[in-house]
Amino acid sequence: MKMLLDGQWVDRDKKIDVTDPFDNSLIDTVPAATKEDVETALAAAVKGFEITRRMTVYERAQILFKTAAIISDNLEEFATTIAQEGSKTITEARKEASRCVNTITASAEEAKRILGETIPFDSFPGGEKRRGYYYRFPIGVILAITPFNDPLNLVAHKLGPAIAAGNSVILKPATVTPLSAVKLVEAMVQAGLPPQAIQVITGYGHEIGDALVSDERVRMISFTGGVEAGKHIAKLAGIKKIGMELGSNSPVIVWKDADVDLAAESCVSGAFWAAGQNCIGVQRLLVHKDIYDEFKKKFVARTKQYKIGDKLKDDTNMGPMITEAEAIRVEKWVNEAKAKGALVLTGGKRKGALYEPTVLEKVPKEMKIHCEEVFGPTVNLYEIDDLDEAIKEANSLPYGLLAAIFTSNVDVAFKASYELDCGGVMINDSTDYRLDSMPFGGVKYSGLGREGLKFSLQEMTEPKVVCFYLPQI
């Protein structure tokens, strides 16, 4: 595949191999961009904004509606690309492709709802003869940096609202999973988006990233990735808007009156979806002592039923991690916890990039697998008794994306929803639930700002006040 720079699909002599992490087979190559390509992308994006800012709302919306239709008509092709280049099974990939259709469609709909309002200038003495309003305008060049774990839909979450708002975009997809992103941009251009409106630059972040994020021509950075990368970007960015989703260490409270079967089934899926490489995946399960043994038995039994292996087979439940190096890291974290007294209830074995779904208990709190984001197919069980202590424990780490609680008591649900320190609380669902139009983001080290189409549009536009002085009224 090629890069899209200054309206042209271009290639380079230096290539980056895109491989299937299941068997390391070569899928395709993409160009390895240079700093000269960065300058081309930046200059072209500025010119592209002169086009996008003048496009009507109708034009933007129609392009997005047509893009969604193209993806829908080629859903299996998109899903296969997701599954081949990343960690998702074909079943998981089909769901992501379907969600992408919804994300782009909702972006088109929200393009028509970028509203302003009138301002009562006569609400203070001296404003009697003034009338006015504000409207929202696009901010300019948006740099979108996307991760590997949702290589299509998380790209759509940045491109959809950026185009809906009238901005131009520079897209830097994850180096290991760029193909889905390129296919999405191809669909947008096919749907009528002027190719100058979007730049797709593929390359290694350590070679081109700093030049992109530090340039003053970029007016907003929308980044999804790790905390350390987020800190680095924040230091370099300068005076521009920043939206960041930086992951989490998601806690789930399973209270004594919970539906144990529902909680176990939901949290197994929540822990091991996409091989656990999921920013809202379940990592800490805080289970009431009265139901702990029952829950543990059902949770472990359901985990043992998981079939891991070939992602393209319909009966595979979980595929490999994105690289063998990542699987080795998770293996190391688990072994460190075992050496300090943690018990492995199931799993704990690795073969290449495949790491078994793993359930731990009695994990010391100083262990990395407790206090950092594991981003792998492991989950920890903890026994609790007191709700206040459970909430305190859930809030104890420097993350706060989503949290969850299973309970049949509405008072318990409301207490938890107000006291859990995070961007969203799921009731009788695992943390691994997201509606693409809801405000999505976190507190503390989990990020800055909110995604979700309406909310992304607020981030990607600015209000401008217009005031008329009318001495004759």
- Out of 110, 245, 326, 373, which one is annotated catalytic? 245
The whole-angstrom separation of Cα 346 and Cα 226 is 28
The whole-angstrom separation of Cα 403 and Cα 405 is 7
Nearest to 93 by CA among 21, 145, 151, 176: 151
**CA 160 → CA 96, 164, 396, 402, 448, distances in Å?**
15, 6, 35, 23, 19
19-64 pLDDT, tens digit each? 999 999 999 999 999 999 999 999 999 999 999 999 999 999 999 9
- Out of 85, 110, 267, 279, which one is annotated catalytic? 279
Give all strands of the β-sheet with 378-384 in edge-to-edge order: 343-346, 358-361, 378-384, 282-288, 250-254, 402-406, 424-427
233-264 pLDDT, tens digit each? 999 999 999 999 998 999 999 999 999 999 99
Question: Taking each helix axis from N to C terminus, what angle separates 57-73 and 75-85, rounded to the nearest 10 degrees?
Answer: 80
The ranges assigned to domains in the chain are 3-247+442-466, 250-427
116-172 pLDDT, tens digit each? 999 999 999 999 999 999 999 999 999 999 999 999 999 999 999 999 999 999 999
Helix (H) or strand (E) holding 26: strand 26-31
Q: What pLDDT is stored for residue 166 in this prediction?
A: 98
Q: What pLDDT is stored for residue 181 in this prediction?
A: 98
Q: What pLDDT is stored for residue 2 in this prediction?
A: 97
Q: What pLDDT is stored for residue 346 in this prediction?
A: 98
The whole-angstrom separation of Cα 227 and Cα 445 is 7
Nearest to 320 by CA among 284, 269, 272: 272
Q: What percent of the chain has pLDDT over 70?
A: 100
Q: What percent of the chain has pLDDT over 90?
A: 99
Q: What pLDDT is stored for residue 124 in this prediction?
A: 96
Collapsing DSSP states into helix, strand and coil, what is residue 58?
helix
Task: Give 281's DSSP letter.
Answer: -
55-108 pLDDT, tens digit each? 999 999 999 999 999 999 999 999 999 999 999 999 999 999 999 999 999 999
185-215 burial, b at 16+ Cβ within 10 Å, e below that, comes to: bbbbbebebbbbbbbbbbbebeebbebbbeb
Class of CATH domain 3-247+442-466 = alpha beta
Q: What pLDDT is stored for residue 422 in this prediction?
A: 97
- Tell me the residue type at 243: G
Q: What pLDDT is stored for residue 468 in this prediction?
A: 97
Q: How many residues does the chain have?
A: 473
What are the phi and psi torsion angles at 2 (to 5°)?
-115, 170
The whole-angstrom separation of Cα 152 and Cα 186 is 12
Looking at residues 4-20, what average pLDDT do you find?
A: 97
**CA 217 → CA 43, 53, 204, 396, distances in Å?**
8, 15, 21, 39
The whole-angstrom separation of Cα 403 and Cα 387 is 14
Tokens of 77: 């092709």
373-407 burial, b at 16+ Cβ within 10 Å, e below that, comes to: bbbbbbbbbbbbeebeebbebbbebebbbbbbbbb
The whole-angstrom separation of Cα 352 and Cα 19 is 14
The per-residue pLDDT of the chain, averaged, comes to: 97
How sure is the predictor about 295, in pLDDT bands with cuts at 50, 70 and 90? very high
Q: What pLDDT is stored for residue 371 in this prediction?
A: 96
160-194 pLDDT, tens digit each? 999 999 999 999 999 999 999 999 999 999 999 99
Task: Give 34's DSSP letter.
Answer: -
Tokens of 421: 């320190």
Nearest to 6 by CA among 230, 273, 199, 251: 199
Residues 374, 376, 378, 384, CA torsion sign = positive
**CA 108 → CA 40, 114, 193, 373, 431, distances in Å?**
29, 11, 13, 34, 27
Compute how many other C-beta atoms are within 10 angstroms of the C-beta atom of residue 371.
16
Q: What pLDDT is stored for residue 236 in this prediction?
A: 96
190-226 pLDDT, tens digit each? 999 999 999 999 999 999 999 999 999 999 999 999 9
332-384 pLDDT, tens digit each? 999 999 999 999 999 999 999 999 999 999 999 999 999 999 999 999 999 99
272-291 pLDDT, tens digit each? 999 999 999 999 999 999 99
Q: What pLDDT is stored for residue 12 in this prediction?
A: 97
With a CB cutoff of 8 Å and minimum separation 6, the contacts of 346 are 300, 303, 304, 356, 357, 358, 359
User: Which CATH number does the domain 250-427 belong to among 3.40.309.10, 3.30.1490.100, 3.30.70.870, 1.10.540.10?
Assistant: 3.40.309.10
- Tell me the residue type at 413: A
Examine the residue annotation and report whether 279 is marked as an active-site residue of this protein: yes
Note the pTM of the prediction, 2 decimals: 0.95
Looking at residues 2-24, what average pLDDT do you find?
A: 97
